[in-house]
Amino acid sequence: LFAGETEFVKGVVAMSGLPPADRMEVCFAGRSNVGKSSLINALTGRKGLARASNTPGRTQEINYFTAGDDHYLVDLPGYGYANAPLPVVEKWQRLLKQYLSGRQTLRRAFVLIDARHGIKKVDEDILKLLDTSAVTFQCVLTKADKVKAKDREAVLAQVRQALSKHPAAFPEIVLTSSEKGDGIETLRAIIATLE
Ligand code: GTP
Ligand code: MG
């Protein structure tokens, strides 16, 4: 799935702009700056594919990428604090929620959580939306390289505990580092098994 060409398809700013729902897709959601775009680059092995930066609010559109012939990878704008004008942020937050609750071919939402911080209130709101929309989601901890091995278990326990309250949660949590490559092969394999 990730061996072949991956390419940018389009950036979407309204539901009407979504590409035809002709194949399954997985999306990457999470707070601004959590590492969504970086994770897509790590998964595809193409550093500049999705634009990443240290400014929260970098991704402001729903960006579609192909992976193989029959999967889309979808990079989403972040939620929570963003360094962008409020009306702009509100517009993409609305779109984000419409997308997460209304995309027929969305097979799984990967919800990224910073491994240093665990699940926050803003994350909970998104998890509830996914529950009510019956979209299976799976938590991916990011930036594992910034957390000492001895501190990881506490974050995993917090996330596991939070997930137990969400009917749409897939129980396995994936610990990743886009920087160091941890968990990337695992996540590729998970995506490849989705049909
Ligand atoms: P928005 O598009 O603004 O919502 O952000 P995003 O979630 O797409 O985050 P992005 O991938 O742009 O990364 C944000 C910052 O975190 C960048 O400076 C990345 O280099 C850094 N980053 C992402 N993943 C990792 C990681 O695994 N380890 C470390 N150390 N830094 C990371
Ligand atoms: Mg981004």
61-71: per-residue pLDDT in tens? 999 999 988 89
CATH code for the domain of 44 = 3.40.50.300
Domain count across the chain: 1
- Considering the domain boundaries, does residue 153 fall inside one? yes
- Considering the domain boundaries, does residue 80 fall inside one? yes
Best of 27, 31, 53 for a ligand 1 pocket test (most atoms within 8 Å of beta carbon):
53
- Considering the domain boundaries, does residue 69 fall inside one? yes
What Å distances lie between residue 131 and 11, 30, 32, 47, 170, CA to CA?
26, 16, 21, 33, 11
- Considering the domain boundaries, does residue 1 fall inside one? no
Domain of residue 181 covers 6-193
- Considering the domain boundaries, does residue 129 fall inside one? yes
- Considering the domain boundaries, does residue 174 fall inside one? yes
Q: Using the mean position of ligand 1's atoms as its centre, give its distance from the Cα of residue 107 in Å.
A: 24
- Considering the domain boundaries, does residue 88 fall inside one? yes
176: helix, strand or coil: coil
The answer, as to whether pTM is greater than 0.90, is yes
Q: Which atom of ligand 1 is nearest to the CA of 38?
A: 11
CB of 63 sitting under 6 A from ligand 1: no
- Considering the domain boundaries, does residue 66 fall inside one? yes
Tokens of 151: 């501190």
pLDDT (0 to 100) of residue 195: 83
The protein residue whose alpha carbon is closest to atom 29 in ligand 1 is: 143
Best of 38, 93, 116, 177 for a ligand 1 pocket test (most atoms within 8 Å of beta carbon):
38
39-59: per-residue pLDDT in tens? 999 999 998 999 999 999 999
